[in-house]
Structure 1
Amino acid sequence: MTFVHRLSDLAYGAGWGVVRGLPEPMARGMFRSFADLAVRRNGPSVQQMRRNYARVVPKAGGAELDELVRAGVRSYARYWMETFRLPAMDHKEIYRRVNDVMVGMPLIEAALERGKGLVLALPHTGNFDVSGIWLVGHQGPFTTVNERLKPESLYQRFVDYRESLGFEILPSEGGAYRILMERLRANKLVCLVADRDLSKRGIPVTFFGEETRMPAGPARLAAVTGAQLLIADNQFTDDGWSLRIHTPIQVHGREDVPAATQRMADAFAADIATHPTDWHMMQKLWLADLDEDRQRALQESP
């Protein structure tokens, strides 16, 4: 384990060990201060968020982009503050609050009535773990995938965290796709964060007018199993969260996977455009932001 990996593991461990015990106003103020400090430092991640928001709100001037970035980093800090506190929060109360404002429940019920499972695809918006708590309360456990982080102890912290919320977690490597198919064929739910895949496996899409790639998994799973594909829109509100399920996508065979992935990207874009500061994308997403060698590598045949 490298020093950086060990330091990351200790930092996240401290988050789950300390932040969860702080009074909420104190935790909220502390994370907002961290966010504002990050904006003032204007490191590479903050600069990338600004470039990403410039695509989402192309008419924004400099001052408006400054405000979008400030609000976006604060929103991201809120996500992490809640992440560290969720295991100790009242999940029944979270379920009730989301359920009171949730939109699109009949789409979930109709998809499961078909008996072929349901794939929920979502971007990095709001607090999707809160939406997951609602889904567990409404429907029971669902299955999702976690990136295999390093060190292994940090990956296990995230697995333990999300399992404590009632999710079934699969590693991104090691047969996850086969198990996801099994869950869908048993008429279960699969949830996948799906707004970024800058690999040769990603499907080329147009997103806010520029080329990028998104994961094939949601559409491919729907094509192979006959499952319904739905979009989940997670947002923060001033005093809570909202969740909207929409855009039923039926994938008609493997040949329809690229077109279905584009429809998924279009639905993500429409949601993100209505509340851009809840989209926590601080990484390079569009191919135009990659260096020439990386762009060339993606264009080469696998």
Structure 2
Amino acid sequence: MYYLFRFLSFWPLRLLHALGGLLGWLVWSVSLNYRTRFRANVAQAGLPFALARPAIAEAGRFVAELPKLWFRPASQSSLTDVCVQGQQHVEQAFAGGKGVIFFGPHCGSFELGPQALAELYGPITAIYRPARKPWLAKLEAIARDRAQLTVVPASLSGIRLMHKTLKANRAVALLTDQVPPLGMGVWAPFFGQAAYTMTLAARLALQSGAVLLPVSCERRPKGQGFVLKVWPAVGLPESADKSDMLDAVTRINQAIEAIVLSQPDQYLWGYARYKTPRKETV
């Protein structure tokens, strides 16, 4: 698989996206569970299916563009095909001297987002959960670790490093709409339904005073690049007791909802967002 990814990394982005679109529809056609979950999540968000239908192909395009993003030469800028919006929010956040927490959903090119942010505002520490397949986990670790981007696994040591990073008035990045293991989240509303939601971003912000900034990285049509947008900061309660934690997580979910509603054609609607969390120790 390594050599296949390496080979595909030389393809033009437009061709990769064309291939990915076909891949997305292939998965849709063969998986009843995927189609059912996709439609249920769209309905839960209160959207007509027609608005989300393009996301079937976009899911495939996300996978197809990974070789290009993961094997990009260190000397090549990730910002070549990226239009950046909302930089004033980042400047205001860093001015507070408490660090910045970039967060976003499984929407658009969420793999490119941290690379671009690291080049603009690095060094950045990003936390992720390694893939279960050994070959993919190894490939992820190699491809994601770049000069201004440090990727750490979702472990106690990784969380400690994120605290240290924020204390130094630097930035961290994470996806907040992925279901965490049992004990690492709370049940909070997401499009009107309770979803087990990670508390990590809220805890980091409440304990460090860092600013929470939502981020999206929208894929333009026909391989014409991407739009990286930094949204206004999310305000949180001042304390970190149990009730305020739920409030904080709910506000983060609301920011994610706003991003999804702005680009429903690029959200991973097939993700099992409302599933029961698995048991796991960190």
Cα distance in 1, alignment partners of residues 230 and 15 from structure 2: 33
Q: As a proportion of its length, which structure holds more helix?
A: 1
Match in the other structure for 2:266: 278
Change (3 A) 1:40 1:149: closer
1:248 aligns with 2:195: no
1:44 aligns with 2:44: no
1:1-302 equivalences in 2 (<5 Å): 10=1, 13-58=2-47, 60=48, 64-65=49-50, 68-69=52-53, 71-89=54-72, 94-98=78-82, 101-164=83-146, 166-197=148-179, 199-238=182-221, 239-251=224-236, 252-255=238-241, 256-286=244-274, 290=275, 294=276
| Amino acid across the alignment from 2:212 | L
Cα distance in 2, alignment partners of residues 285 and 23 from structure 1: 32
Identical aligned residues as a percent: 19
Count of aligned positions: 272
Q: Unaligned regions of 5+ residues in structure 1, if any?
A: 1-9
| Amino acid across the alignment from 2:18 | G
Higher relative contact order, chain-length normalized (CA < 8 Å, sep 6+): 2
Q: Unaligned regions of 5+ residues in structure 2, if any?
A: none
Match in the other structure for 1:6: none
Contact preservation (8 Å) 1:247, 1:267: no
Contact preservation (8 Å) 1:92, 1:137: no
| Amino acid across the alignment from 1:203 | V
Which has the higher Rg, Structure 1 or Structure 2? 1
RMSD (CA atoms): 2.5
Change (3 A) 1:236 1:227: same
Contact preservation (8 Å) 1:212, 1:285: yes
Contact preservation (8 Å) 1:87, 1:165: no
Q: TM-score, normalised by structure 1?
A: 0.81
